[in-house]
Amino acid sequence: MEILNYINNQWTKPNVNEFFDVINPATGQVITKTPLGTKADVDSAAKAASGALPAWRRTPVNDRVQYLFKLRNLMRENHDEIAKLITEECGKTFEEAKAEMIRAFENIEVACGMPLMGKGEFVEDIASGIDELMIRQPVGVCATIAPFNFPGMIPFWYLPYAVAAGNTYIIKPSEKVPMTMQFIMKLIEQVGFPKGVINLVNGAKEVVDGILEHPAIRAITFVGSTNIAKYIYATAASHGKRVQAQGGAKNPVIILPDADMEMATKIVADSAFGCAGQRCLAVSFAVTVGDAKNHFTELICDAASSRVVGYGLDSGVQMGPLINAASKSRVESLIGLGVKEGASLPVDGRGTSIKGYENGAFVRPTILADVPRGSEIAKTEIFGPVLSLMHVNTVDEAIELVNSGQYGNQASLFTSSGSAARKFRYEAEAGNIGINIGVAAPMAFFPFSGWKDSFFGDMHGQSMDAVEFFTQKKVVIERWPKEWSRKF
């Protein structure tokens, strides 16, 4: 598949000499090349989106969402095709890729409620004969900068809400996984959105910087690692833009002795090793309390060692590779660091080679046990299939450990005690909480609520937060004296 930009409803070849090799992480083969676009490409897209804005804004909201209904149906019809592309460029299993796209469909479905969600407010007689109203208007041209790990879902945390609210839009996918959005843009083309309403620009840092600086782009959403999220947040804000930036994570789970251990193990293993741990809601460290330690450790080590690893398009495979060889060596060296810092390694996934896929970026599920508190490995986002185990004696200590971390994307608890669950829900410092749940991914009708260094901004993605983010409120106070009216 050739990777092109889609600007003003035209497929254009960026005029560049630099390309990024896109590899199938299971085979190590180069499958396409991402053109590393320039600020000039961003400028063309921003001009197209600005040109489209007046007419799109004036299109009635109930007409705007008809395009989205059509897009959702086309994406559903092409569900398998999209999922296959995700597996090829991103590595996750076909089933995981299909599940990812269901989240994208759900966001389109919720955004189709914009005629209701985008309504304003009206109060009569705030003083005698004076009324006050609030209307929501689009912000203008909006852009999203996306990460590699959910190439089909993450753009849809934003795109449907932005365009349903009357904005025009630019998407920049991760240069590591450009094929999924390339294909989806072909569906967007089939839908027949007016020229310039949705634009695609491929590239890396230069394109991102072009978006951050462009005066016509009014709002930016970003998802990626924390350091880049901070950069995006600060730079976009310094250019006077509305911005939300979701960052990295290091998600804890607490296992209490009264938890259903079989269930907890299965769910924690799915969370830690699903998508090869490359999920911002993957459980990354488990804190056992009291008697939970031995039983949970034994079961989770079994679950880790028995997971079927391979190419995500082959049947029966439960876990695919990491995104690339650099990521494999980074994860393997972090496992080594954990051991150096004093952790034990009951299940070691380093040095994995899968028959038939010897050049793949595979790391098998790994368990680091007795990870010392305060160690680098206890703090660092690994973003791979590695679960660290820690142990404390009380729920209070466990919650204190959870809250001592830098990130706040998700925290989970496994227990059969309602009061422990309530205490945890009340005290845990994370924006997405799981009680007997391993991946607490909010449905599209709730906000995706990272906290601390997992999120920079105030309005989150999805649901009413997305409506708030992609609209600006205008308040009008009106007086119409009777004597001005014509007598009828």
CA gap 322, 314 in Å, rounded: 16
Stretch that binds ligand NAD, among 40-48, 101-109, 111-119, 168-176 (CB under 6 A): 168-176
Catalytic residue among 142, 275, 280, 301: 280
CA gap 220, 357 in Å, rounded: 39
- Residue 407 C-beta: closest distance to ligand NAD, Å: 9
Stretch that binds ligand NAD, among 110-118, 241-249, 334-342, 355-363 (CB under 6 A): 241-249
Answer for which of 175, 453, 465, 468 binds ligand NAD (CB under 6 A) is 175
- Residue 65 C-beta: closest distance to ligand NAD, Å: 25
Answer for which of 138, 152, 450, 457 binds ligand NAD (CB under 6 A) is 450
- Residue 397 C-beta: closest distance to ligand NAD, Å: 26
The answer to whether 25 contacts ligand NAD (rule: CB under 6 A) is no
Answer for which of 6, 383, 424, 456 binds ligand NAD (CB under 6 A) is 383
The answer to whether 247 contacts ligand NAD (rule: CB under 6 A) is yes
Answer for which of 82, 111, 184, 208 binds ligand NAD (CB under 6 A) is 208
The answer to whether 246 contacts ligand NAD (rule: CB under 6 A) is yes
The answer to whether 310 contacts ligand NAD (rule: CB under 6 A) is no
The answer to whether 147 contacts ligand NAD (rule: CB under 6 A) is yes
DSSP-assigned beta bridge partners for residue 170 = 143, 199
The answer to whether 56 contacts ligand NAD (rule: CB under 6 A) is no
CA gap 338, 192 in Å, rounded: 52
- Residue 353 C-beta: closest distance to ligand NAD, Å: 24
Q: Residues of 249-287 as b/e, b for ≥16 C-beta within 10 angstroms?
A: bbbbbbbbbebebeebbebbbbbbbbbbbbbbbbbbbbb
The answer to whether 381 contacts ligand NAD (rule: CB under 6 A) is yes
Stretch that binds ligand NAD, among 76-84, 217-225, 295-303, 332-340 (CB under 6 A): 217-225
Instruction: Tell me whether residue 275 is one of the annotated catalytic residues.
Output: no
- Residue 166 C-beta: closest distance to ligand NAD, Å: 25
CA gap 82, 143 in Å, rounded: 22
Stretch that binds ligand NAD, among 124-132, 201-209, 344-352, 358-366 (CB under 6 A): 201-209
Stretch that binds ligand NAD, among 35-43, 48-56, 222-230, 336-344 (CB under 6 A): 222-230
Helices and strands (H and E) in the chain: how many: 16, 22
The answer to whether 158 contacts ligand NAD (rule: CB under 6 A) is no
Helices (H), 112-225: 114-117, 159-164, 179-191, 205-213
Tally the C-alpha atoms within 13 A of residue 380's C-alpha that lie toward its C-beta.
Answer: 16
The answer to whether 174 contacts ligand NAD (rule: CB under 6 A) is yes
**126-to-20, 262, 474, 475 alpha-carbon distances in Å:** 59, 60, 17, 13
CA gap 216, 199 in Å, rounded: 14
- Residue 390 C-beta: closest distance to ligand NAD, Å: 20
- Residue 132 C-beta: closest distance to ligand NAD, Å: 37
For ligand NAD, the nearest residue by Cβ is: 224
Count the neighbouring beta carbons within 10 Å of the beta carbon of residue 478.
Answer: 10
The answer to whether 225 contacts ligand NAD (rule: CB under 6 A) is yes
CA gap 435, 427 in Å, rounded: 13
- Residue 448 C-beta: closest distance to ligand NAD, Å: 6
Q: Which two tokens stand for residue 28?
A: 């190590």
Helices (H), 225-364: 226-238, 261-273, 292-306, 325-340
Q: Residues of 444-471 as b/e, b for ≥16 C-beta within 10 angstroms?
A: beebbbbbbbbbbbebbbbbbbbbbbbb
The answer to whether 100 contacts ligand NAD (rule: CB under 6 A) is no
Are the C-beta atoms of 186 and 17 separated by less than 8 Å? no
CA gap 7, 11 in Å, rounded: 7
> Contact positions toward ligand NAD, by CB under 6 A?
145-150, 172, 174-175, 204-205, 208, 223-225, 228, 246-249, 280, 381, 383, 409, 448, 450, 454
Indicate which residues carry an active-site annotation. 280
